[in-house]
Amino acid sequence: MALMLSADLSLDLEVEGKPAVHARLRGVENRLTLEVDEAGAFAGARDAPVVRALAESLAARGILIRVESGGRHLVSLGAVSAPWWQRRATGTRRIRVGSLRGAFTAARSRASGTESVLPDAGLIPPATLWPLTPTLRRPVPRPVTTTHDPARGGTPRLTLAKSDLWAGERQPVFSLGEHTTIGSDPRADICLPGLEAQHAVIEHDDRDEYVVTAVAGATRVHGAVIDHQMLRTGTRLEVGEHRLVFTREEYADHGRPHGGRVGGEVGHQLPQPPREAF
């Protein structure tokens, strides 16, 4: 399918140490004319690959650009078919030399070592996929994963949420083991002032879950007083005046369905299959 255009564009090309080159691109539908005041401006030795790539891209869209200088036809790019003897010189049938002046100009520019002025092909943005149908195909179904980590890992930890942090100060982080005690006793795994000697305990059970149990004093989860509570990533645990936040890496956090969240407000979360006994 041909692409229809309407163009009237003037441009100046400046090359260091040389006069500026003036050009004008105009035309309608799929036939355009590029007028340049310097015939050899785009005939540098390293410009040929870029010109060939441009010609092939124009041809794929049914566009023809006729390059002229001083009223004379130099070359046509795009939706053309060059004779075989020109293809041997240009490397593509999508570039057709329009006159002997065009061929002479290109040969003279290359022989004199005219500096390349066009961008390297690596700077040209990739073309839009065409047709667009492949971009609308449904994604390939992926196998379902779970958060059942047989190694019982995930770096479970509690972070002390302090409201009076100084700039650059880091919040204390406490790693959780199989049996973690919280209290004011110096022998407690997590020792915090103002608590009972043994305020609460966190156990790592056979289901690979971390469960907090109140021992003495007030123990809250999200503001509600609890006796026992399973911890999930983001759970806010309050002991006395201290607030701790539980975190476990997502691949091992059983609260994450199928190993991760589904984005979007209408995302449908499927439950995980039952875990195997450890």
Q: Tell me the pLDDT tens digit for each residue of 50-70.
A: 778 888 888 888 888 888 877
- Given a cut of 80, whether residue 102 has pLDDT beyond it is no
Q: Out of 77-91, 114-128, 183-197, 263-277, which region has the weakest mean confidence (pLDDT)?
A: 114-128
Q: Tell me the pLDDT tens digit for each residue of 240-256.
A: 999 999 999 877 877 66
Contact between 24 and 9 under an 8 Å Cβ cutoff? The reply is yes
The closest of 109, 3, 119 to 65, measured between CA atoms, is: 3
The H or E element spanning position 245 is: strand 242-247
Q: What are phi and psi of 133, to 5 degrees?
A: -55, -45
Per-residue DSSP letter, 258: G
> DSSP of 76-110, one letter per residue?
EEES----HHHHHHHSSTTEEE-SHHHHHHHHHHH
Kindly tell me the sign of the dihedral angle through the C-alpha atoms of 217, 219, 223, 227. Answer: negative
- Given a cut of 90, whether residue 237 has pLDDT beyond it is yes
The pLDDT-based confidence of 133 (bands split at 50, 70, 90) is low
Q: Give every CB contact of residue 271 below 8 A, 6+ residues apart in sequence.
A: 257
Chain position carrying tokens 């002390």: 160
Which token pair is 136? 């609308």
Q: Give every CB contact of residue 129 below 8 A, 6+ residues apart in sequence.
A: 135
List C-alpha distances in Å: 109 to 38, 89, 90, 136: 11, 15, 14, 46
Q: Give every CB contact of residue 50 below 8 A, 6+ residues apart in sequence.
A: 118, 119, 120, 121, 124
Q: Tell me the pLDDT tens digit for each residue of 184-224.
A: 999 999 999 999 999 999 999 988 889 999 999 889 999 99
